[in-house]
Structures are given as structure tokens and as C-alpha cells.
Amino acid sequence: MRKTARGYTIVELLIVILVICILAVIFFMSYYGIQASSRNSQRQSRIAVIATNMEKYYDQNGEYPICANLIDPNSIDAVVTYTLKGMDPNVLTTPNDVKGSNSLKCDDMTSGPGPDVFSFVANGNKWRLKYREEGSGNIISVDLKRDITTASRKFTLTINTTEGGTVNDGGIYDEGTVRTILAINKTNYIFKNWTGYGCDGDASHEVTITGDMTCTAHFTLISIAAPTAPVVIASTPSDKTNWSWTVSSSCPDDAVFSYQYRYIIDYSGGYTSNWYSTNNVSTVLTTSPEGYEYNIEVQARCSSIYYVSDWSISGTKNYIRPVQNPGPISFDISRYSIDTAQITATSSCTNGAYVWSRSDMAIQYPYVWFDTLQDGFWADSHNGVWKDDNWGHTDPATIRARSLSGSLLTPSSFRMATEIRCQNADTGRYSESTGRQESSWLTLH
């Protein structure tokens, strides 16, 4: 007999599908339970790390941190920088929260469904950390070791300044104290800003003390005017001249005067030195060469470690070294050649000045005077009138006479009249002259 095949009935198919669904539900529930258990383990380990770091904070500060310093919503880095120092910032984020978020809150929580957060609240005389267990909704708590302190916490406010201003004093204050910080700019500065956590604001504003704070005031330099021209005076007690100077204006409080100077001397062709820098208010120069004008130019400026002003206009002062009068005159006669007699007048000058003179001659016999220029002088008769009024530079002063007969008759007697002064050949400045000085009769044998 032939058998016929038959398919599954509707009931049988429904039973198979039901079994598969039951198995799928069991699988997914087991998988979710495993994942939830893993996340609960993360919550447990993270809250333990937070508790450990709070104990470290207590060891260092004698108290636990206030919750307000733990819940900065903008930056978990700020919490681990200023409060729970050195802790991994990712510990503050629960597994289901957005990565980088601060999941720590100051609100208490109850069992049952709710947000995935950490809670930091007081529980009697203890501080308690909590989290909500995923799946069961149970609240898991970790109590910190030390009791809650009822004394006010103290924090240090440090107020610093940079170049350009002053600030008021800081101090140690109770938590929550409102304190005014004040920055005052110096002359030529303006207030720029405050730096430091929690310190931003105007030059004068209030800050709330929630922890140790360091606020630093910064200032900006504005333009610095150049000082007025130095007033220079000169003193010459010897062969050196001392120049000193003062400035009538003043520099800002944080700056001092500095100077530069140079010499100008009216040598032939002129001389100007380089600029010399100094912090002194005087300088000395040898000024012994006679007949020169010595000038000094001095400029001033204000300088600090942060800035310098422009140089002022120059203050100047001159000194002219006078030419000293010539020394005593001595006369002498000699035979210049077979037919010419020569008389000299010798004197002396000092420190760069030279003998300048003009001379005359008288004779007891009728010799003929030279009528050409002789060493810068003109011979003349002995009538007391200078034949030529020009001064000339010869040392010694010299005048000659020659005989018309071709040789001098001896003995012959001559007299010389001369006027001598000391003169600087570069500048033309000269001393008083000796006036007309006459020798006695000098005899040539």
C-alpha cells in the first residue's frame, strides 16, 4: 500500500515559533543583563576612585571638598586640576552619559528609574556617594570615612601684580566670603586684565572665595614722553674740566634716568666724538691745550627693564681754555752774514700755543734796512711806528739789517723793539701781548 506525505499543521508551526521567541527573549535578556552588570561594575569602580580621591583631598586640607567645586558642567578637567587633583577625568562620567560629561550631582536620588548620575550628599554626619544600579534601580551607596566638619573652611586668596601697577592685599578667608580685588595702574600704564581661576573682571570687582585662589593683575604700557633737556654746568679747577648735569623733569616710578654725551672741539677741521652711554651725572675731560673751545652735548631718557623713552633734546655747555701770556723776553745779537746783523727776541708759550710777534730795529750807523719780508716781519726805522701791523709766527722773533758797503763795521750797536703774544694757530685765539718791549743797545764786535 502506498504512503502519502503530510506537512506540519498550523498548531505545530505556532508551537515552533513560540519556542523560538521564548529562546530569543531569554537570549536578549541574558545579554542585556550581562551588559548592565558590566556597566554596574564600571559605576562601582568609578565611585570607589572618586571616594579615594576625596579622602586624599581630606588628608591635604583637613576637610572634604564642597560639592559646588565638583560639579563644573563645562569642564571635567577643571575639577581634576583644582579640586581632585591628578584624578582621571573620565571617572566623573557614568557609562550611559555623554563622553566627557560631568555626571556628579549635588542632588539626592531615590530607588527606581532615573538618570544615570553620581550623587554626593550628606547622610547624617557622613558624606555619601551614590549611584543607581542599572536593571534593579537600587541605590548603591559609599560612605566617606571621616565625619562632616561643622567648622568653616578657610581658603587663601593671593593677589599678585605685574610691572605697571599695584594691588590690594589678599589673605585667608572663610569659604563663601565675598572679597573685592583692586588693581591700580601706575603713571604711563593702563589696566589690562586679571588672570587666575575665578578672577576675571574689571580692575575693581568682587570674587567669592570657594577655594584657594591666585589672581594676577596685568597692565599695558602707554607712550613715555622724553625728559626735558639736561642743564649742564662746567667747572675747571685744573687742566681737566668737570661737566655735570641735572634734569628738571622726572621719570615714571618704575624707571630711572640714563644718559649719553659727546664732545665737540674746534680743532682745525673740527672734531666730534662718538656718543658715550652712562648712568652717571658727570664726566671729566682733559682740556689743557690752550685756545680751544670744548663743548659737551648731553641727552637723557627714562628707562626700565620693560621700556625706554626717546632721547631728550641736547643740553650743552662750552668751556674755552684761555691762552696764557708769554714768558719773559731775552734779546741777543749775532752776525747773520758778512754784511748782515741779526737780533732775536726769545720768549715762551705753553700747552699748544706758539710765539707770535712783530718787531722793529734801531741802529747807530747808517745801514740800509731790508725792504723785503723777513721771516714774517718788516724792518722799520726806530721811530716807534710799526711799518707793518701784521703779526707773524716765528720763534724766536727775528729782525736783520745789512750794510750798504758790503760788510758790517765793527763794533756796531743795535736796538730791537718787539711785541710778543701767545697764539693758537688752529683757532686764532691769543693771549694778552707783552706790549712794546725794547732791548738795550746791543753791540756786534
The chain-wide mean pLDDT, for the chain, equals 84
Q: Which domain holds residue 240?
A: 231-320
Q: Is residue 341 a part of any domain in this protein?
A: yes
363: domain CATH number? Answer: 2.60.40
CB-count exposure of residue 74 (10 Å: 0-12, 13-18, 19+): exposed
Helix (H, G, I), strand (E, B) or coil at 353: coil
**80 lies in the same domain as 135:** yes
**342 lies in the same domain as 399:** yes
* Cα–Cα distance measured from residue 41 to residue 95, given in angstroms and rounded to the nearest whole number: 10
**416 lies in the same domain as 432:** yes
Tell me if 356 sits within 8 A of 422, measured CB to CB. yes
**281 lies in the same domain as 253:** yes
Mean pLDDT within 265-289 = 93
**434 lies in the same domain as 350:** yes
Q: Would you state the pLDDT for residue 367?
A: 45
**202 lies in the same domain as 303:** no
Q: Is residue 238 a part of any domain in this protein?
A: yes
pLDDT band at 378 (very low <50, low <70, confident <90, very high): very low
**281 lies in the same domain as 358:** no
Tally Cβ neighbours within 10 Å of residue 75.
12
Tell me if 438 sits within 8 A of 415, measured CB to CB. yes
Q: Is residue 87 a part of any domain in this protein?
A: yes
242: domain CATH number? Answer: 2.60.40.10
**312 lies in the same domain as 267:** yes
* Cα–Cα distance measured from residue 94 to residue 119, given in angstroms and rounded to the nearest whole number: 11
Tally Cβ neighbours within 10 Å of residue 36.
15
Report which listed range, 24-33, 122-131, 323-332, 340-349, is most confident.
323-332
Cα of 108 vs its chain's centroid, Å: 58
Show the cell assigned to 312. 631728550
Helix (H, G, I), strand (E, B) or coil at 22: helix
Query: Per DSSP, which regions of 93-251 are E strands?
Result: 104-105, 118-123, 126-132, 139-147, 154-161, 165-167, 171-174, 178-185, 189-195, 204-208, 213-221, 231-235, 240-246
**139 lies in the same domain as 173:** no
Where among 120, 147, 174 does a domain terminate?
147
Mean pLDDT within 385-394 = 62
Long-range contacts of 147-152 (CB under 8 A, 24+ apart): 148/64, 148/122, 149/62, 149/63, 149/64
CB neighbour list of residue 322: distance below 8 Å, 6 or more residues apart: 290, 291, 431
pLDDT, one tens digit per residue, over 280-291 is: 999 999 999 999
Read off φ and ψ for residue 313, nearest 5 degrees: -70, 160
Q: Is residue 5 a part of any domain in this protein?
A: no
Q: Would you state the pLDDT for residue 381?
A: 39
Torsion over CA: 17, 20, 22, 28 (sign): negative
131 bridge partner residues: 118, 140
Q: What is the identity of the amino acid at 227?
A: P
Where among 130, 147, 164 does a domain terminate?
147
pTM reported for the whole predicted model: 0.50
Cα of 349 vs its chain's centroid, Å: 52
pLDDT, one tens digit per residue, over 165-200 is: 999 998 988 878 899 999 999 877 889 999 998 899
Q: Is residue 18 a part of any domain in this protein?
A: no
CB neighbour list of residue 414: distance below 8 Å, 6 or more residues apart: 333, 341, 343, 361, 362, 363, 364, 401, 441, 442, 444
Q: Would you state the pLDDT for residue 6?
A: 61
Q: Would you state the pLDDT for residue 233?
A: 96
**244 lies in the same domain as 186:** no
Q: Is residue 176 a part of any domain in this protein?
A: yes
* Cα–Cα distance measured from residue 191 to residue 189, given in angstroms and rounded to the nearest whole number: 7
Q: Is the pLDDT of residue 88 over 80?
A: yes
Q: Would you state the pLDDT for residue 149?
A: 65
Q: Is residue 254 a part of any domain in this protein?
A: yes
pLDDT, one tens digit per residue, over 13-37 is: 788 788 788 877 776 666 666 778 8
Q: Is the pLDDT of residue 331 over 80?
A: yes
DSSP per residue, 136-167: T-PEEEEEEEEEPP-SPPEEEEEEEE-TTEEE
Read off φ and ψ for residue 176, nearest 5 degrees: 90, -5
Total domain count, the chain:
4
Where among 200, 221, 242 does a domain terminate?
221
Read off φ and ψ for residue 232, nearest 5 degrees: -110, 140
261 bridge partner residues: 276, 298
Cα Rg of the chain (Å, integer): 54
**69 lies in the same domain as 108:** yes
Q: Is residue 3 a part of any domain in this protein?
A: no
* Cα–Cα distance measured from residue 360 to residue 418, given in angstroms and rounded to the nearest whole number: 6
341 bridge partner residues: 335, 401
**400 lies in the same domain as 351:** yes
